[in-house]
Chain A
């Protein structure tokens, strides 16, 4: 995976509270067994409208359909962004559309965890700070760039004002080093075996005995 270090990009404000992952990627946009190609479905119910002839067309009132926000790589969001469904497609849709960083006062916990698996950086800043940055972006009609520096944990608004953010160092490293989340756990195989061996003594009922294992086996298709 690529590493995430520092970016200076267009930021799009979407400051409503509790934007859920159903809104980020509606159910009818996620029905493909795939890990990419979901950008077209991002915010589909807001981004498109149905014309009188039944065709889907861009809704010009939606911010991501407007220049220069069409080029945005940073999303400025309200509290509890991406709450709700665990669908990882919400991250894939944002990433496939072009976003690499979301700045919000808080996030749905599952979405927040999913971001780090997909090279998307979620940053928590208090709402006043997010609104201050959004205000400057809007004053410049979206032209003012926002800088995000993961190495130094700093967000710089278009006018140069800086906001420090804190982030879990474990997950920060995952992004800085571009670690693959699945391969990253394989190095713990010995620890996992040791844990299970001791745990089988401590909590034997968690692990199926021969009879139960047989029962389980029978349900394998």
Chain B
């Protein structure tokens, strides 16, 4: 056991949630908040009812619809994804049967689960939040320890308000220096994954720290933590500070009055001790980062926009070379070629990574008075009803529409629906996307996704090709 004065934030949160130590570094851990969505939630409810178990703490369990629902205006329970309705109705039925609150279609609070949980103040610092979705780590942006789980663990959490987990090791990533103009939180996390690989985080809880984060908005922090799972971390988070408190204070489910002060004092006490030791520590100099764009089929396949994709002669192991060749075969690129200037067919701004107000605001500042290039299919799905309403009130929606973007309803949409046979880009399209996964066929049959920041996506949509947003900013 580590000595008491040398604990990390993660150690402290972990310790405060141990219900039972099962030995072998494995614990029964309390779940403060459990979020369900229709894709895994319907599965968990089905398992629960088949086995005749009950929901233990319905008041700590919340649900919304995001993964399977359509995002076209006028949507209903019927979905473009074949058989999606069964999931939506299965979730709703389970919520009704077990008394779980649901932010359903038509509700002002509906949205992508990882967008609405901080927005509602359901994700709080020092708490654990579990959801049947790998990007649950997003909530680390407000200091919540989020764990993505499978639907059986969802059943476990429903029945016991706990999960059984092996304690991850501690990693700290320090983002030093300031971000150059045209470079956004998304670029930071993509750059990190490119540096350390998509598997560097396996078995780790990653604390993101450093100067660059202290001045960063909560929405930027959420984008960074969102992609902790793309370096395969078990979870990722940023310790709360005054920016966090300012963001959360007054949110619907955040504590109020004297309880707020007590909570803040507790949250402050969770900060990693000076003497805390991390199993791994990495430092990144942010001042040297350029806008990032992926070229392959893993988030680690990423380069500075002004660089070239790996060439044949680059020093890589035989295994890496085989993987790279396979990625090129899918993305139809040649070794050593530049990405800048590559023609695209589509652009997408949305997903739990980059669909918050500030993401749309940055994109709108680029789209204002401009139009997307002819033949570009450009789509924006705000992350939540709250984001959508706010963007509409601020005139941002009008800018998107005038520029030729479709303005959709909140949901995961083209982040996952394309792969599931629903809303999709045309087969084989090359698109630029503010999402988090450039996996094969994720955004439609044969669709090639280049991941980038919302600013890079917006500017590339205007140019009709992958473009360096710094040339606009300058």
Contacts and interface: CB of A to CB of B under 8 A. Distances in A.
Nearest to B233: A109
B162 interface: yes
B19 A191 contact: yes
A220 B101 CA distance: 4
A164 interface: no
A215 B68 CA distance: 26
Given A16-B322, A168-B25, A22 B32 contact: no
A88 B22 contact: no
A182 B102 contact: no
A114 B262 CA distance: 37
A31 B81 contact: yes
B152 A182 contact: yes
Contacts, number: 230
B199 interface: yes
Contacts of B418: 27
A34 B45 CA distance: 11
Contacts of B249: none
A37 interface: no
Contact of B419 (A27, A80, A188): A27
Given A110-B148, A186-B159, A220-B102, A18 B198 contact: yes
A31 B53 contact: no
B101 A216 contact: yes
B5 interface: no
B419 A106 contact: no
A106 B151 CA distance: 22
A123 B148 CA distance: 21
Interface stretch (B89-97, B208-216, B334-342): B89-97
Contacts of B229: 84
A113 interface: yes
A204 to B, nearest CB: 6
Given A27-B421, A33-B42, A221-B104, A182 B437 contact: no
Contacts of B234: 109
A118 interface: yes
B319 interface: yes
B203 interface: yes
B124 interface: yes
A52 interface: no
A114 B81 contact: no
A191 B20 CA distance: 7
Contacts of B150: 86-88, 91, 110-111, 113-114, 117
Which residue of B23, B26, B103, B319 has the most chain A CB atoms within 10 A of its CB atom? B319
B59 A108 contact: no
Give the size range of B's interface with the partner: 35 or more
B86 interface: yes
Contact of A188 (B20, B199, B260): B20
A108 B202 contact: yes
Interface in A71-98: 78-80, 83-88, 91
A15 B30 CA distance: 37
B95 A205 contact: no
Nearest to A213: B59
Contact of B198 (A83, A118, A202): A83
B101 A185 contact: no
Interface string B316-352: 0001101100100000000000000000000000000
Given A17-B319, A18-B323, A86-B133, A169 B153 contact: no
A5 interface: no
A221 B416 contact: no
B428 interface: no
Which residue of A32, A191, A195, A205 has the most chain B CB atoms within 10 A of its CB atom? A205
Contact of A27 (B151, B262, B442): B442
B440 A45 contact: yes
Contacts of B84: 31
Contact of A170 (B22, B51, B133): B22
Given A110-B149, A181-B156, A221-B104, A22 B419 contact: yes
Given A27-B421, A110-B149, A219 B103 contact: yes
Given A83-B198, A114-B152, A117-B153, A22 B440 contact: yes
Nearest to B204: A109
Which residue of B40, B43, B259 has the most chain A CB atoms within 10 A of its CB atom? B43
A180 B198 CA distance: 32
A26 interface: yes
A86 B319 CA distance: 26
B395 interface: no
A190 to B, nearest CB: 10
A129 interface: no
B127 interface: yes
Contact of B300 (A18, A27, A33, A170): A18
Interface string A96-110: 000000000011111
B439 A23 contact: yes
Contacts of A83: 198-199, 232
Which residue of B165, B199, B262 has the most chain A CB atoms within 10 A of its CB atom? B199
A196 interface: yes
Interface in A19-77: 20, 22-23, 26-28, 30-35, 45
A216 B55 CA distance: 15
A220 B417 CA distance: 27
Nearest to B155: A182
Given A79-B199, A85-B437, 13 more contacts: A15-B319, A18-B298, A20-B437, A22-B419, A22-B442, A28-B420, A31-B84, A85-B134, A88-B152, A108-B232, A109-B168, A182-B152, A204-B262
22 contacts: A17-B319, A18-B198, A22-B440, A26-B441, A33-B86, A45-B440, A80-B198, A86-B150, A88-B43, A88-B150, A88-B152, A109-B202, A110-B150, A170-B164, A182-B156, A185-B159, A192-B160, A195-B30, A199-B30, A206-B127, A212-B253, A215-B252
Which 9 pairs across A and B sit closest by C-beta, in order of nearness? A27-B420, A27-B419, A88-B150, A219-B101, A205-B255, A80-B199, A114-B150, A28-B421, A185-B160
